[in-house]
Structure 1
Amino acid sequence: MPTLILVRHGRSTANTAGVLAGRTPGVALDERGAAQAAALPGRLAGVPLAAAVTSPLQRCRETLAPLLAARPGLPLHTDDRVGEVHYGDWSGRKLAELAGEPLWEVVQRHPSAAVFPAGESLRDVQARAVAAVRDWNDRIEREHGPDARYLVCTHGDIVKSVVADALGLHLDHFQRITADPCSVTAIRYTRLRPYLLRLGDTGDLSALAPAADPAGGDAAVGGGAGAP
């Protein structure tokens, strides 16, 4: 099955301001976020991509713009299922203020029980994101073969939810995972299990290019030799 390359959007103006943007329209990349996006094509140089999928929000589309300019033939798809969490009444509020809400502790310690007021639950967030990934895995494999790589540009809690699923972690453990702005997380899916290849990587990504797999899809006993 294909390898999924998850990219969190670059740093946004809301990140800088300490605001929970949610699905608030018009949230753009800040200066640092734009620089992070500009560096993405170089970081992914040598990694063939069959397609790119993006959240519909502006900060994700801006993050992908330099990559799409560098690869003019790369198909781009928009999928709301990898869009930001519907934080409801929490959207647009300062994180420092939200930290005083009773729900904050639930989000931190028991996220599978968290439902945002006038928004959605984190259980539903994970379900839609994982369903999207599984659907795209199937489509990419049908159209491009089992060794294809494809990219999804999305948001921090989406990345963490998908990683928790890939690792077989209960959603209540997903806050142990981090995804910095413009970090890359890569998951290789196989018939029997996913493999987490990168988590929150902000450096060179050339080792994600296709290579021979002497283990034939199984875990490498002893740890393996790593990328060439």
Structure 2
Amino acid sequence: MATLILLRHARSAANGSGTLAGRTPGIGLDETGTAQAAGLPERLEGVPLARLVTSPLQRCRETLAGLAAQRGLSPVVEQRLAEVDYGDWTGRKITELTDEDLWKVVQQHPSAAVFPGGEGLAEVQSRAVAAVREHDRQLGDDQVWMLCSHGDVIKSVLADALGLHLDSFQRIVVDPCSVSVVRYTDTRPFVLKINDTGGDVSGLLPPKDTGSSDAVPGGTTGQTSP
């Protein structure tokens, strides 16, 4: 199987304001996020990319735009990698949501969390993992591909790759414009990197011998602690 780079979108205007953007249209990158995205071509220099796949939301498409142009690739829009449908929570301040009874469920038993008027986190993991596996099967063992998605979506994919129950996925941190790397094989996934925000891309290259505290819905805002 191929090597997958999971890229969380660069920092958005909603990240900076502490708002749960969800699927709200028109949420683009803020100044910090624009700079993060602009650094991706240099950061990934030397890493071959056979395919780019993106969530349909604006902040993900903007994050990949410069890299896609530099590589001459047209990102594949994948609806199953869209942000969580937070339903009635969409557009609300995180500071307000911590008082909701559902907040404790999201923190302690996320597999049971279903957002009012939206979807459940178990549904999110199911659709995202299915999309990842499908795209990965289409590529060769020596190829590298990248998807750009959202914090909770990527965390759910990483939890699956790590063999963790979804109830443990809040232990994973995925910052804006961070990369995590998974290599899928016939027997098991290998998780090579998680939440890497640096410039060292050595772990992103395909191998020569394949061998065998409260979490914020949507992901962190890029601070050193979640």
When normalised by structure 2's length, the TM-score is 0.91
Is the 8 Å Cα contact of residues 5 and 187 (structure 1) preserved in structure 2? yes
Map of 2:196 onto structure 1: 201
Map of 1:146 onto structure 2: 141
Map of 1:39 onto structure 2: 39
Map of 1:221 onto structure 2: none
1:172 to 2:171 alignment: no
Find the aligned partners of 2:10 and 2:3 in 1 and give their Cα distance: 21
* 3-state SS of 1:86 partner: coil
Q: Residue type of the partner of 1:119?
A: G
1:133 to 2:132 alignment: yes
Is the 8 Å Cα contact of residues 8 and 154 (structure 2) preserved in structure 1? yes
Is the 8 Å Cα contact of residues 50 and 75 (structure 1) preserved in structure 2? no
Q: Deviations over 1:147-196 (max 9, x none)?
A: 11000000000110000000100000000000000000010011101111
* 3-state SS of 1:7 partner: strand
Map of 2:185 onto structure 1: 190
Q: Residue type of the partner of 1:185?
A: S
Is the 8 Å Cα contact of residues 186 and 196 (structure 1) preserved in structure 2? yes
Q: Which ranges of structure 2 fall in alignment gaps of 5 or more residues?
A: 213-226
Find the aligned partners of 2:98 and 2:131 in 1 and give their Cα distance: 30
* 3-state SS of 1:33 partner: helix
Find the aligned partners of 1:154 and 1:130 in 2 and give their Cα distance: 12
Is the 8 Å Cα contact of residues 115 and 121 (structure 1) preserved in structure 2? yes
* 3-state SS of 2:138 partner: helix
Find the aligned partners of 1:201 and 1:27 in 2 and give their Cα distance: 24
Map of 2:217 onto structure 1: none
Map of 1:117 onto structure 2: 116
Map of 2:99 onto structure 1: 100
Equivalent positions of 1:74-89 (< 5 A) are 74-89=73-88
- More off after superposition, 74-83 vs 20-29: 74-83
Q: Deviations over 1:80-135 (max 9, x none)?
A: 10000000000000000011100001000000000000000000000000000010
Map of 2:215 onto structure 1: none
1:217 to 2:211 alignment: yes
Map of 1:67 onto structure 2: 67
Find the aligned partners of 1:204 and 1:86 in 2 and give their Cα distance: 32
Find the aligned partners of 1:159 and 1:15 in 2 and give their Cα distance: 16
Find the aligned partners of 2:207 and 2:102 in 1 and give their Cα distance: 46
Find the aligned partners of 1:211 and 1:126 in 2 and give their Cα distance: 27
Find the aligned partners of 2:186 and 2:44 in 1 and give their Cα distance: 26
Find the aligned partners of 2:68 and 2:128 in 1 and give their Cα distance: 23
Q: Residue type of the partner of 2:70?
A: A
Q: Deviations over 1:205-226 (max 9, x none)?
A: 431223422xx422xxxxxxxx
Is the 8 Å Cα contact of residues 19 and 92 (structure 1) preserved in structure 2? yes
Q: CA RMSD in A?
A: 0.9
Find the aligned partners of 2:124 and 2:133 in 1 and give their Cα distance: 14
* 3-state SS of 2:190 partner: strand
Find the aligned partners of 1:210 and 1:191 in 2 and give their Cα distance: 16
